[in-house]
Each structure stands twice: as C-alpha cells, then as structure tokens.
Amino acid sequence: MHPMLTIAIRAARDAGNVIVKAYGDPSKTKVEQKGTNDFVTNVEKEAEAAIIATIKKAYPEHTIIAKDSGATTGADTDYQWIIDPLNGHINFIKGIPHFAVSIALHVKGKAEVAVIFDAIGDEIFSACRGKGAQLNGYRLRAGSAKDLSGTVLATGFPHSMKHQQDTYMNIFGALFSECADIRAAGCPALNLAYLAAGRIDSLWSMGQKPWETAAGNLIATESGAIVTDFAGGHDFFKSGNSVAAAPRVLKDMLAKIRPNLTESLAK
C-alpha cells in the first residue's frame, strides 16, 4: 500500500473513532452557528484535530488545508492534505447516519491519494492516482449505464447558492424527466464514493467546497467515471460546480444541463 495512503486511512479511522463515540451520545455534541445555514460542532473540531495530529506526526513538513481550522502552511508546499473531518455534518447533527471523513493528498496540484471513511458503515473508499479505487480492499468500478434511462442520480441542494435556485430546479426537472430517480442525501463525499461503487449512476452539484469533493473526485475517476464542470471542462474543483458519471451518461447529463445554465454558470 502507498505509505501516504496508509497514513490517510489511519487518520480517517482516528477521526471516525471520535465521531462514532459522539454519535452514540448526542448530549455531548455542541453546535455553533457560523453563518446563514452554516454550522460547526465540537465533534468535527475534535475529529479534525485527530486527523491533523496523525498527518503531522508522519509528515511534519506537509501543508494542511482543513475545513474548520483553515490552511497550515508547512515547509513543503508541494504536498497539500485537504481535509473534511465530518462531511455531511448536518446529517450528524440531526442523527441521520449518513456522513463521512474525507481526506485527500494533492502533490504539486494533482490529487494523488484519497480516502473517504463511512465510520458508521465501516466502509473505507480509497484511491491512489493510476492504481484504481477500492472499497475495503476490493476493486471498484463505476456503473456501465449507456444513457439516462433507468439511472439513479444524486445531487445536493445548493444551500450556499440560493440565488441560483431557479437554475438548479430547471436542471433538476430536465434530468428527472429522463432518469429513474434522484437522491439528495446530504453528503457530497459519499455521493462520489457511491458513484465509484456503482450504487448511483451519476451526480451533479453546485457550489461545493474543495474539501467536500477533493477525495471523492479522485476515487470516482479512478473507478472509471469522469468528472467535469457544467461546461464539460476541468474547472470543477475551483468553481465547485460539477457533473460526474460514466462517459456515456455524462454526455446525456451535460446535454440536459447546458441549456439551463445562466451566463455565470456556463463559463
């Protein structure tokens, strides 16, 4: 196993232990509101600290970009760990068992290692660039649907981009008319992991933060899926607007999405 993947898995399990323990005793979870529709808990802060401690012990000179504590620039900026300690934290707050730890390593701007850990389900999705994606050590392959007919899609409602809700709902309607069903389960990292595992056939999202999708993007692509922005380009990590699917389904997705985009989203 890639040594940095080993550390990523260890860090994810350390965070998962914090999360599972807290999930079993909701009275110990304290919720703070950071802004409109933006919350943070003491649990994710503790989980993030556990991840950082594990990474720093192994690689003290690496840079870390974390959801809550921000960027900690190390002596070696070529190696950047991108961390979301509790992706799907609203589900956690509400007692819904659908959330995950997300850890990615970028080397000179390219994703090299990724781990998504569903601590409740004890599922570790992982990938190394060029080595494929795995679930608990078994190889993953994205689904092989040829078009949108009969597919199950996933999405996330754009709670941070409500000014785009009309556009979003137009896209939703265009896709829903062609597919079998759509899921909005509240955990972007697991959406991408489930795409890699063939549990869903495609997904699209608006305004996602880098730490929400950094690990999932690599796991999805290493499973054979393709990730693009709404224009079919490669700006999805910066814009936060993405579409992911097997190649043939992606073509259908983009054909339905593009006519509904505003000028700002079409770039």
Strand ranges for the chain from DSSP E: 31-35, 38-41, 62-66, 70-72, 76-87, 100-107, 110-118, 123-128, 133-135, 138-139, 152-156, 181-183, 202-205, 226-228, 242-245
CA dist 80 and 19 (Å) reads: 24
Interacting residues of 156 by C-beta distance below 8 A, sequence separation 6+: 184, 186, 188, 191, 205, 206, 208
> Would you say 135 is a known binding-site residue?
no
**What pairing do the DSSP bridges indicate for beta strands 202-205 and 152-156?**
parallel
> Would you say 86 is a known binding-site residue?
yes
**What pairing do the DSSP bridges indicate for beta strands 76-87 and 62-66?**
parallel
CA dist 229 and 4 (Å) reads: 28
Residues making up the binding site: 84, 86
Q: Which residues are annotated as a binding site for Mg(2+)?
A: 84, 86
